[in-house]
A and B are shown apart, each in its own frame.
Chain A
Amino acid sequence: MELLPPATPGSNSDLPDYVTRRPSGFYRSLNPATKLVIAALEVVVAFAIPGWPGPLLVLAALAVVAAASGTLRSLMVIGLAALPLVVSIMVVNLFLLPGASDPIARIGPLAPTWSGLLFGLLTSARLLAFSSAIALAYLTTPVDDLLADFSRRGLGRRGVFVVGAAVQMVPRTIDRVGEIMDAQRARGMDTEGRIWRRARGLVPLAAPVVFGALSEVEERTMALESRAFTAPGRQTLLRVPPDREIDRAARWLALAGVVAIIALRLTGRVG
């Protein structure tokens, strides 16, 4: 991908230090594109290499990098967010894996199987590897660095901005859900207690959250238009993330790894 020069010099002595800041630490200081390609390699390794080695290798590598970059705790919190999905994967596979005939025990009409247990665990490990790979790239890359890097590469900033802003809006949406939930509770809605009660309490949340978000999107669109977001031409970049030799080498290596693993998988030499 050709690197296009920014519209104006990316560095200027008039810019304050907190704008020209550089990320600290090896992984954090990698170029955003490099981290995205590495994340892609991790996902391919987790899913395309058969059995346990792929996901376990990726999870171990992610844990080391997260610990070194100070994001291990945040990564574990994001991992916990995937817990409901992991539980559903385990339940479905434990009891309903097609062709499984090695029951662990019989509980009335239900018969959890060893095959289902192992397949569920493997699928969950892959899911965790996938979500953690994306999450680590996100946790170690400021959104504005990602936007600046993509803009420099001539990629449409509208698409990149929408993704970046959407990610940044997640905490706001969570806050909004909390506010609406408090309002519903104040009006007598029971959102505590048994699971079915909690589930029933979610129904009146849906409309205010969805319609509120749509209304906010319209106002945000107008606000962006009034800040010249759709102005033609190249945007000025105040800070451009460095793209060093090591970044380029890492990207090529990771891309080669992705291609090699997919090719081996397709030709049947792996799996």
Chain B
Amino acid sequence: MAIELATVRYRYAGSTSAALGPIDLRVEPGRVVGVAGANESGKTTLCLVAAGVAPAVVGGKLDGSVRIDGVDAATLRPHELAQRCGLLFQHASTQLSHTTATVFEEVAFGPCNLGLPVAEVVERVWMALRAVRIEALAPRDPARLSGGQGQLVALASVLALRPRYLILDEPTSELDPAGTGLVADALARAAAETGAGILLVEHKLDVLARIADEIVVLEHGAVALSGAATTVLADPRLEDLGVEPPAAVRLERSVRGAGIEWSAALAKAIE
């Protein structure tokens, strides 16, 4: 059971060079795999490929294999993919249907598309709203939410489809620190409570430091670094790959650079 990318190489329609690959990656249920990298390193493309959207929806050419729970993603139809892989983009405004009057109905949009009985739709909506702690937003107009709230609604909308995996492309890029904290907390809960496997592309490495089990750093569409989150985040090569280490790592380096001994007690006190 996992999303498995094996020797995957992908190029967009009209392009002569590959935007991604060759790449091997595995996302298991209950695990959070963080993805970092400089601009144009292939992060968004990786999301589209892993979710089965590329090439099925956006075209292009894929070599290698993408399997979701052992099934070739190319054989799945979009609504079947949607129930296996929830996909969330950067902009909350493009995630929402813009045809509903309340957040409750917005979150119900996906389950309603599946033709589920009303009782099950209701149950799924409350489950999703609870998972991201936004039950209080249920009666609100989705068009009148803040960026952070909108992104949480978009996340709940994806969770309502009960996908086994979540693929998130910089979900906090437009959010302030408070909104980023809300989304990061919600993702951590979603991973813990729903057991979903999460592939999370994120520029803010503090978010990955909080919730990722493993981290992959991309460069020119290929994996430049990978491993356990704590190991990768402390790797001195991160900055050369265009990625700023998290604040805790930078602080530790500054402290050590100043000749002060770094200890677990000091780290805890600063935290």
Q: Is B117's beta carbon under 8 Å from chain A?
A: yes
Write out, one digit per residue, whether chain A residues 226-244 have a CB within 8 A of any chain B CB (1) or not (0): 1111111111111000000
Contact of A227 among B98, B123, B158 (CB under 8 A): B158
| Docked complex: B162-218 residues within 8 A CB-CB of A | none
Q: Is A267's beta carbon under 8 Å from chain B?
A: no
Contact of A16 among B94, B138, B154 (CB under 8 A): B138
A219–B88 Cα distance when bound, in Å, is 10
Q: Is B99's beta carbon under 8 Å from chain A?
A: yes
Q: Is B79's beta carbon under 8 Å from chain A?
A: yes
Q: Closest chain A residue to B77 by CB distance?
A: A230
B118 touches A236 (CB 8 A): yes
A-B interface pairs (CB < 8 A), number: 130
Contact of A222 among B89, B100, B118 (CB under 8 A): B89
Q: Is B97's beta carbon under 8 Å from chain A?
A: yes
Q: Is B34's beta carbon under 8 Å from chain A?
A: no
Write out, one digit per residue, whether chain A residues 1-15 have a CB within 8 A of any chain B CB (1) or not (0): 000000111101011
A44–B195 Cα distance when bound, in Å, is 59
A216–B110 Cα distance when bound, in Å, is 20
- Chain A interface SS verdict (over half): loop
For chain A, the count of residues having a C-beta within 8 Å of the partner chain is 43
- Chain B interface SS verdict (over half): helix
**Given known contacts A222-B89, A228-B82, A236-B118, is B104 in contact with A18 (CB within 8 Å)?**
yes
Q: Is B64's beta carbon under 8 Å from chain A?
A: no
| Docked complex: A124-159 residues within 8 A CB-CB of B | 142-144, 147
CB distance from A29 to the nearest CB of B (A): 15
Residues of A within 8 A of B112 (CB): 235-238
A residues neighboring B (CB under 8 Å): 7-10, 12, 14-16, 18-19, 142-144, 147, 161, 164-165, 168-169, 171-172, 216, 218-238
Sample of 13 A–B contacts (CB below 8 Å): A14-B122, A16-B104, A16-B138, A18-B102, A18-B104, A19-B104, A168-B99, A168-B143, A223-B89, A223-B94, A226-B51, A226-B158, A238-B105
